[in-house]
Amino acid sequence: MDGEGGDAIQQRRTEVSAFELPSVLARLDTDDPAEQRAAVETIRDALGDQPAACIPTVPKLRGLLAQPALECHEEVAYCLAELADESPTDVAPSVDGIVSFAAENPEQPATRELLRCLATIAAEQPAVIVDHVETIANVVDRRPADDRWGVRVFRQLSMKRPAAIEPAVPVLTDALATNPDANGGPALSALGRLANAEASLPTLEFVDHAVALIDHDEDTLRNNAIGCLADVAHIEPGAVESARPELTAALECNDPETRANAAVALARIAIAMPAAIDPAREQLLALLEDDHERVRANTCVALGHGNVEGATDRLATLASEDPASTVRERADWALDRLS
């Protein structure tokens, strides 16, 4: 049995090693759909071992997307997505053609692979995606709710060009509402970065959906939700003020990241509304003795913005004795604010 497996692997390697670029390019150039499909299959077979050798086929693969009658668009899209993983710079010039196909065929299986391709390019070459955000948002709006790649295009773009995703806010809100388990993480990350960039938010409807996730069982989703709310509170504290009870409860979560994020969110609400801290006063005072440095540091900031004068003695102790320099600095800042 081992011998048979070895023979199969050897045969596969021989086939892949036989990849001949001039021949493949010539077959892609023919008017025969069967020849074109065979060439696409050859490229797909070679991607596992020789992706770099396939890069010169990108322009011709892009050209195949413009042939409506071709029956292998999904395979073409897969190849483009894989080649984007190998070299996003080489696939970036094809973005116009990729977006055009997706806009005309939003419900086709090939579009899922093309969105995966665009997500990869957005991470490395965001400038070529920016002008297509509205079109991509319209495509995502017509895709199934469990298709995660469209939302990830905007998450990747938001890392370097957060303000550019403003037209996608409604579709990100819908993705968060309809399938938070699949889309919550990337949607919340993108929306939070947009808010943190102090860009215009055409709707704050997503805030209610984020609040509903504050007590979610999954740590990452819960923390993304609270982090997003903290980012919104930075520019629109009133939009998050109603979430104080949920954020206060989150201060007692077993997960330290959740406690730290909740303290940040409350601190940012308190910048505009210091009294907002009052219902969380006891929980915050208790967190000054938390085992985790980030929790203690963020709690100092929340108490400072909340003008909690009863915290001065404990803050003074932290400012002089805490082993973490970040905590000492934040405690000292809070003391100055309260004095």
Residue 247 predicted with pLDDT over 50: yes
Q: Is the dihedral of CA 145, 118, 111, 74 positive or negative?
A: negative
pLDDT digits (tens, 9 = 90+) for 52-82: 999 999 999 999 999 999 999 999 999 999 9
The pLDDT assigned to 198 comes to 82
Buried b (16+ CB within 10 A) or exposed e, 89-104: eebbebbebbbebbee
Instruction: Show the tokens assigned to 75.
Output: 């395979």
pLDDT band at 269 (very low <50, low <70, confident <90, very high): very high
Contact by Cβ (8 Å): 74, 111: no
Asked whether residue 16 carries a pLDDT value surpassing 50, the answer given is no
Furthest C-alpha separation in the chain: 82
Listed residue (229, 121, 136, 245) closest to 184, CA to CA: 229
Distance between CA 169 and CA 206 in Å, rounded? 9
Cα R_g (the chain), whole angstroms: 26
The DSSP symbol for 339 reads -
pLDDT at 19: 82
**Per-residue confidence (pLDDT) for residue 18, from 0 to 100:** 64
Query: Residue 5: its pLDDT value, please?
Result: 44
Residue-level pLDDT at 339: 86
Residues contacting residue 197 through CB under 8 Å, at least 6 positions apart: 162, 163
The answer for residues whose C-beta is within 8 angstroms of residue 29's C-beta and 6 or more apart is: 60
14 has pLDDT over 70? no
Q: What pLDDT, in 10s, does the model give residues 145-194?
A: 778 899 999 999 999 999 999 999 999 999 999 999 999 999 999 999 99
Tokens of 57: 């086929």
pLDDT of residue 132: 98
- Averaged pLDDT for residues 298-305: 98
pLDDT score recorded for residue 66:
95
pLDDT value for 200:
79
What pLDDT was estimated at residue 10?
A: 39
Roughly what angle, to the nearest 10 degrees, separates helices 256-272 and 219-235? 10
Q: What is the percent of the chain with per-residue pLDDT over 90, rounded to a whole number?
A: 91
The band of 7, judged by pLDDT with boundaries at 50, 70 and 90, is: very low
Q: Which two tokens stand for residue 306?
A: 């909340």
Q: Would you state the structure tokens that stand for residue 157, as one six-digit string?
A: 């773009």
Q: Give the residue extent of every domain in the chain.
A: 1-125, 244-339
Q: How many Cβ atoms sit within 10 Å of the Cβ of residue 240? A: 25
User: In percent, how much of the chain has pLDDT > 70?
Assistant: 95
Give the fold, CATH level 3, of 1-125: 1.25.40
Q: How far apart are CA 312 and CA 320, in angstroms?
A: 12
Residue 72 has a pLDDT of 96
**Can you give the pLDDT at residue 331?**
98
> 21-60: per-residue pLDDT in tens?
999 999 999 999 999 999 999 999 999 999 999 999 999 9
What pLDDT, on the 0 to 100 scale, is given for residue 38?
96
- Least confident among 90-104, 143-157, 216-230, 322-336: 143-157
Which stretch of 4-13, 98-107, 295-304 has the lowest confidence by average pLDDT? 4-13
Rounded distance between C-alpha atoms, residue 156 and residue 139, angstroms: 17
Q: Give the pLDDT score at 201.
A: 87
Q: Do the domains 244-339 and 1-125 match in fold?
A: no
Higher pLDDT among residues 6 and 279, named by residue: 279
Nearest-angstrom CA–CA distance, 272 and 47 = 55
The whole-number pLDDT of residue 145 equals 79
What architecture is domain 244-339? Alpha Horseshoe (1.25)
Cut 0.95: pTM above it: no
Mean pLDDT, the chain, whole residue set: 93
